[in-house]
Amino acid sequence: MNLRNYLSITDEIAQAIKEGKPVVALESTILSHGMPYPENVKFAHNVENIVRENGAIPATTAIIDGKLKVGLNDDELLLMCKGENIGKVSRRDVATYLATKKNGATTVATTMLIAEMAKIPIFATGGIGGVHRGAQETMDISADLQELAHTNVAVVGAGCKSILDIGLTLEYLETMGVPVLGYQTNDFPAFYTTKSGFKVDYNLPDAVTAAKIMKTKWDLGLNGGILIANPIPEQYALNFDEMEAVINQALKLADEKEIKGKETTPFLLANIKTITKGKSLLSNLQLAYNNAKVASKIAVEYAKLNK
C-alpha cells in the first residue's frame, strides 16, 4: 500500500514515530462540529498543550486539500475551528474527500483509520459514537463501532455519548470482541456523567496496566481496538437523571425537525448546550482535557514497553 500520495505527517510527528516516542492522535470533528467558534480555537491549543505537558506529542488529524493530515499548523487548526465548508468525514467518505480535494473534519472512525496508517497506537477523544436510541427501527449505528472492531488503536474517551443507547452499544462492542476497560473505575461513564448504570469489563488501576494490555493484545495478533473509558472529573459531572430529561427533550426536537444520520449528534449536542445554559459545553471541554491527559500517560508507558 503506497500511502505517500495521501498521508501528510509533520516532521516533528514523523520523527517521533520513527524513534518510538509517545504520540497521541486527536480528532477534528470536535472542533468543526462539536464546539462553537471561537471557543474551539482555545480548546484546540489547550488540548495539544495538555498532551505535551504529559510527555507525548499531539497529532491532530484532518483532511485538507487531498491529504490525510497528521498534525496541523495554526492556520490549519483555525480552518478546522471556523468550520466553513468543512464536512464531517467518516470511513465511507474518505476516498471521495481525498479524490475531490474537499476539506473534512475527522470523526472517531476516521481518526482511528489515519492513526493506524501513521502507526500511532492511541487516540484521545470526547466520547465514541454508538447505537442510537431507536436503532431497532432506524438502524442508526455509528461507524465508530466497526472501526473499533477492526483497527488497532486504543481510544480514550468518556465512554459513549449519553444521547445513545448505551446498553446496545456495549452489547455491540462485546459481539465485536472490543475490550471495554475503565480507567480507575468499574462503571461505564456516559460522557457528561461518571456512571451510566452499566459496568466495564475491567478496571484499569493505572496507565502501565493499560499499556501492557494494548501490547499483549496486538502481540497476540488479536486485531481491533480497545476502548478505555475514562470518566469525566467529578467536579464537572452533570446529574444523570437531569441529563436524561434534557436528552429526551433534545431527541424529541430532533424527531420533530426530522434530523437524521450524521447530522443527529451535532444537532443534539447543540440543543443540549442550549437547554443546560452552557453547562454541557463546560463539561465537554473538561472531559476532553482529561482524556488527553490520560491518553498521554498511557502513550508514554506504551512507548517504554516497545523500546
162-201, pLDDT tens digit by residue?
Answer: 778 999 999 999 999 999 999 999 999 999 899 999 999 9
121 neighbors 152 (Cβ within 8 angstroms): yes
Spot the catalytic one: 69, 88, 161, 273. 161
**How far from chain centre, in Å, is Cα 283?**
15
pLDDT single digits (tens) 212-265: 999 999 999 999 999 999 999 999 998 888 888 888 888 788 888 888 776 777
Can you state the angle between helices 143-150 and 108-118, rounded to 10 degrees?
20
Backbone φ, ψ for residue 266 (5° rounding): -60, -40
- End-to-end distance of the chain based on CA atoms, in angstroms? 26
Q: Centre a 10 Å sphere on the Cβ of residue 256 and count the other Cβ atoms it contains.
A: 8
Query: To which residue does cell 497521541 refer?
Result: 24
Backbone φ, ψ for residue 157 (5° rounding): -150, 165
Model pLDDT, residue 121: 98
C-alpha cell at 301: 508507558
- The answer to whether residue 2 is domain-embedded is no
- The answer to whether residue 1 is domain-embedded is no
- The answer to whether residue 94 is domain-embedded is yes
- The answer to whether residue 80 is domain-embedded is yes
- The answer to whether residue 75 is domain-embedded is yes
Question: Does 27 have pLDDT greater than 80?
Answer: yes
pLDDT single digits (tens) 86-141: 999 999 999 999 999 999 999 999 999 999 999 999 999 999 999 988 878 778 89
Question: Does 13 have pLDDT greater than 70?
Answer: yes
Model pLDDT, residue 261: 72
- The answer to whether residue 238 is domain-embedded is yes
pLDDT single digits (tens) 42-64: 999 999 999 999 999 999 999 99
Question: Does 1 have pLDDT greater than 70?
Answer: no
Amino acid sitting at position 77:
L
Question: Does 278 have pLDDT greater than 80?
Answer: no
C-alpha cell at 66: 487531498
The full DSSP string for the chain is ---TTTEEE-HHHHHHHHTT--EEEE-SHHHHTSS-TTHHHHHHHHHHHHHHHTT-EEEEEEEETTEEEES--HHHHHHHHH-TT-EEE-GGGHHHHHHHT--EEE-HHHHHHHHHHHT--EEE-S-B--BBTTHHHH--B-HHHHHHHHS--EEEESBB-TTB-HHHHHHHHHHTT--EEEET-SBPPBTTBS--S-B-SEEE-SHHHHHHHHHHHHHTT--S-EEEE-PPPGGGPPPHHHHHHHHHHHHHHHHHTT--GGGHHHHHHHHHHHHTTTHHHHHHHHHHHHHHHHHHHHHHHHHHHT-
Residue 215 known to be catalytic: no
Residue 116 known to be catalytic: no
Model pLDDT, residue 119: 97
Model pLDDT, residue 137: 78
66 neighbors 101 (Cβ within 8 angstroms): yes
125 neighbors 30 (Cβ within 8 angstroms): yes
Query: In angstroms, rounded to a whole number, what is the distance separating the alpha carbons of residues 40 and 33?
Result: 10
Domain range spanning residue 269?
7-305
- The answer to whether residue 181 is domain-embedded is yes
Model pLDDT, residue 162: 77
Model pLDDT, residue 56: 98
Q: What is the mean pLDDT of residues 266-295?
A: 87
CATH, residue 105: 3.40.1790.10
User: How many structural domains are present in the chain?
Assistant: 1
